[in-house]
């Protein structure tokens, strides 16, 4: 999301039109960091990561104090797997704006993927302190707690994320997994079912719910879920493996 008030959210809903408009703006004024920033956002939403980075580079060259451009470029580098560059961009955003919650949240995700779980938690804590309404920070901190084996803390974070954003499908999947790990199978099924209700195309939710049905001895229900997972995503290898285990 652009920090500039002039960005038209309706325009961004039509990415190609947005890119055309921002390109026209750049043609009129090639020194306008806002236009490069916004076009980078549009390219990113289209999945053109390299072009997004190029536009963020230009926005930063024109306005080196533009902290959101570092955050967005960091996210793009993160998607490319360049965690060092992503972390460097988040660091610079925080240097420019120490109150920028999204910068801490992004850096926390990078630290988590690099295996530095304590630093990840510290960054998520700071993101939440700065923006207690930012649901993804609770979800991501919850995932770190799962990795540490702190399932109760993880579930508490997933609870808060859902309270803030009841349509956040991934959190139901994550909480369902935590409940499964705790042996609270009915609660796990309820969460996976809610994820499916919100997103009927979520193959992973069917696969995960199938695993819980299998653990409860409900093999027919498990097979039905694995079948649906495979129908939705024929490349979802765990679903084939899990369905094979039922047939043993």
Domains of the chain by range and CATH? 11-64 (1.25.40.10), 67-132 (1.25.40.10)
What pLDDT digit, counting tens, does each position of 18-72 carry? 999 999 999 999 999 999 999 999 999 999 999 999 999 999 999 999 999 999 9
Sign of the Cα torsion 171, 146, 136, 156 reads: positive
Q: In angstroms, rounded to a whole number, what is the distance separating the alpha carbons of residues 76 and 86?
A: 8
Mean pLDDT of the chain: 94
What are the percentages of helix, strand and coil residues in the chain, rounded to 5?
Answer: 80, 0, 20
Roughly how many angstroms between the first and final C-alpha of the chain, as a whole number? 50
**DSSP conformational letter for 233:** -
* Residue 12: predicted pLDDT: 60
25 SS3 class: helix
**Looking at per-residue confidence, does 8 or 102 come out higher?**
102
Place 14 in a pLDDT band, splitting at 50, 70 and 90: confident
* Residue 76: predicted pLDDT: 96
In this prediction the pTM is 0.89
* Residue 9: predicted pLDDT: 53
Contact 72, 41 (CB under 8 A): yes
* Backbone dihedral angles phi then psi of residue 135, each to the nearest 5 degrees: -60, -40
* Residue 11: predicted pLDDT: 53
What pLDDT digit, counting tens, does each position of 122-140 carry? 999 999 999 999 999 999 9
What pLDDT digit, counting tens, does each position of 58-115 carry? 999 999 999 999 999 999 999 999 999 999 999 999 999 999 999 999 999 999 999 9
Q: Which two tokens stand for residue 221?
A: 């229900």
H or E segment to which residue 17 belongs: helix 15-28
* Residue 248: predicted pLDDT: 85
**DSSP conformational letter for 165:** -
156 SS3 class: helix
Look at residues 159, 162, 3, 149 and name the one whose alpha carbon lies nearest to residue 67. 3
Q: In angstroms, rounded to a whole number, what is the distance separating the alpha carbons of residues 225 and 246?
A: 12
Within 112-239, strands assigned E span none
What pLDDT digit, counting tens, does each position of 146-192 carry? 999 999 999 999 999 999 999 999 999 999 999 999 999 999 999 99
In angstroms, the Cα distances linking 105 to 117, 121, 190 are 13, 10, 29
User: Within 10 Å of residue 35's Cβ, how many Cβ atoms?
Assistant: 25
* Residue 7: predicted pLDDT: 46
Place 193 in a pLDDT band, splitting at 50, 70 and 90: very high
What pLDDT digit, counting tens, does each position of 195-235 carry? 999 999 999 999 999 999 999 999 999 999 999 999 999 99
């Amino acid at each position: 999301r652009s920090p500039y008030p002039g960005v038209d959210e309706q325009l961004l809903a039509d990415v190609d039109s947005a890119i055309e408009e921002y390109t026209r703006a750049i043609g009129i004024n090639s020194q306008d960091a806002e236009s490069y920033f916004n076009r980078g956002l549009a390219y990113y939403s289209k999945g053109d990561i390299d072009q997004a980075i190029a536009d963020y580079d230009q926005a930063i060259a024109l306005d080196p104090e533009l902290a959101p451009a570092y955050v967005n470029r960091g996210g793009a580098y993160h998607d490319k797997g360049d965690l060092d560059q992503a972390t460097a961009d988040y660091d610079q955003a925080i240097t420019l704006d120490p109150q920028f919650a999204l910068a801490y949240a992004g850096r926390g995700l990078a630290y988590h993927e690099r295996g530095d779980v304590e630093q990840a938690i510290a960054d998520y804590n700071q993101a939440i302190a700065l923006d207690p309404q930012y649901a993804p920070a609770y979800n991501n901190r919850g995932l770190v707690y799962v990795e540490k084996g702190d399932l109760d803390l993880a579930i508490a974070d997933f609870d808060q994320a859902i309270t803030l954003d009841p349509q956040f499908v991934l959190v139901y999947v994550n909480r369902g997994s935590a409940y499964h790990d705790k042996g609270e199978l009915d609660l796990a099924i309820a969460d996976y079912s809610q994820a499916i209700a919100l997103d009927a195309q979520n193959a992973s939710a069917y696969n995960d719910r199938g695993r819980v049905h299998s653990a409860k001895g409900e093999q027919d229900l498990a097979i039905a879920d694995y079948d649906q997972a495979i129908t939705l995503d024929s490349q979802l290898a765990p679903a084939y493996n899990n369905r094979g285990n039922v047939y043993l």
